[in-house]
Chains A and B, each alone.
Chain A
């Protein structure tokens, strides 16, 4: 009894969430902050030590790339936070806040990656993590290329690496690989056996640049294709196109601008996600808001996030 009375917790540790109630009495899951899913080996060792000392027999890898310590007694919160090391391993968030961004491996070692998604995830985590939205959770994901392993369009804001190709006809050896490998059929073979480019079906995946054996195809522009308003869960929405070739160094400002609009427009609407707010207000409203600040990158028109009928046939 006396021991319980002495228990004092630093409530600042609980402020951003990340401590999640479990079924068992006094037990919590502690969700760790792992932006982009990158975990240094020394940090991994430290987490293993802390899990062994305070947690259960396993950890759980969350679907958004975090490591979750399981079966942590709430009395050990302060010790867990301290032993993890405030500087090197922070606790994540839950609730109506900007969550830890998800990202694929990016372009450093993955030959498919077109942009440095890991850098973007770290920047967003550093500048915007934990920001209260006032309304609902807010998820961000970075995919390095249009193959889109992170499923970017199911996030409140999804970024997808893209490059716009340019062609040097003198360097082309007419091998036909680019045309053959162009999945959306943006390339067709011309009269001279060289490729002819059509931007309409192009998804800017850069496959032509990647397969070209001579470098006749190269990149003209690089940046993110941005889709907004996605979510999954009980009533899924797929985010729609708002910006193209957004430079990597404008990602944080772009998200901040969307957050500003969301905070304002969802006022008084209760617990509502960004996508549902866009459906209510109209996609053009958000498009116009963003165009003021990012005129070069905002698309001329778009549609609201798309409802996915997942209950048909029951």
Chain B
């Protein structure tokens, strides 16, 4: 699974970086995205969902950041 570490990256740069990283994946491939608590975890998952990708899981890690698992869906 591709790991996309977006900790320390603020909105909306984190979303744009996630989009760019997902462009390199095949349709149906899964990726794990690390997001900071706060605005990033509030915004990025729903924006990726609005882009048509499938959200598989979202859990908060012990360190405080969030781990988002996503399946790439081509339009």
Residues of A whose CB lies within 8 Å of any CB of B are 111, 173, 175-177, 181, 210-214
Contact = CB atoms under 8 A, between A and B. Distances in A.
Contacts of A111: 50
A82 B42 CA distance: 50
Contacts of A211: 42, 45-46
B6 interface: no
Given A181-B42, A211-B46, A213-B46, A176 B60 contact: yes
Contact of A173 (B41, B50, B58): B58
Given A177-B58, A181-B42, 4 more contacts: A173-B57, A177-B45, A213-B45, A213-B68
Interface residues of B, number: 12
A181 to B, nearest CB: 6
Nearest to B49: A213
A209 to B, nearest CB: 9
B42 A175 contact: no
A212 B45 CA distance: 8
Contacts of B4: none
A176 B45 CA distance: 13
B18 interface: no
A170 B17 CA distance: 32
Contacts of A176: 60
B55 A213 contact: yes
A210 B55 CA distance: 14
A213 B59 CA distance: 11
Nearest to A175: B58
B59 A177 contact: no
Give me the 9 closest cross-chain CB pairs, A-B, nearest first.
A175-B58, A213-B55, A213-B45, A213-B58, A211-B42, A181-B42, A211-B46, A210-B46, A213-B49
